[in-house]
A and B are shown apart, each in its own frame.
Chain A
């Protein structure tokens, strides 16, 4: 065994997994974009918008929750969400939708709810109300 085998292994492994890390990072990065950009991008993105509470619907057949978000310029976008509606959705000021725009609506895989009060920003309270998708 050469004397510096440990260093050689470490360097090799770091190069391989560093490369894997960077490649995966670029592959799975979901940029934060505006409505217009979200409509044209063919990949997973995040959009922030205010919720139109007057116009929400749950379709029992498809299990899809549909609502509309709007931004300061008055632009509106339809959002379809197949997961469980976050518990603090009704209290939300705005919502971050993670997903992809397809055929006229934004298909959200995840919703991050943003609450108006700074005290609702508590780490555990927010975690409590969030519907995650983890392991």
Chain B
């Protein structure tokens, strides 16, 4: 069972502002039946068309999607459009006393619907995300085909929530949660976005004895590298460790693969990330 806060539970059982506003000034719709959740947000503005005087929602989704929608409408009532745009998905989650990480995409959906509603009202380009069913022109490259999510939207969520792993990106946006085929691309996007920002380093031991280093190298190959190769039908074997040179031989699909050079680089990158900066990977026949 999900560990929902009392506030999530309360907003789910007694959601505020359910329904539609017939003469709404702005409407934002995101999600779809296929995705498993969807939100339609209605905004009514004051006479000066500056301040949100009423907000209502219709949501198809789980308890946290309903609670996030309810929270969002409560948070934006009385705010100016600019103030409302300042609300982030973290703010929605915080309002609810937190959401399980697997459910963070519900708060992202709320923030997205708000952004779409306001952009459409202002006649601006509708912000690029993926899975709306308004059929707006989507900019950017579709990364996750299962949920129809673009790179631009992913980059935004990665940056604003400081996401470091593909799993987190899935929890926040759903991307990668279907067939999983786009996970390598998501990892690239994380590297691209977070590469510019100070990222949490894996705790690399400052000084390693030879024995510890060898153990760590083996460990990283077993846990971080080989499972990824298996997924593509490949494999590798550790042949020897000579000083800072790690000798590996590719097996199965990786053996003789034209891009094994890239794979070797990838292995090196992983080892440098987890073990020591000066490691080099050498491909050998073995």
Report if A and B associate in a common complex.
Answer: no
Binding site for A on B (CB under 8 A): none
Binding site for B on A (CB under 8 A): none
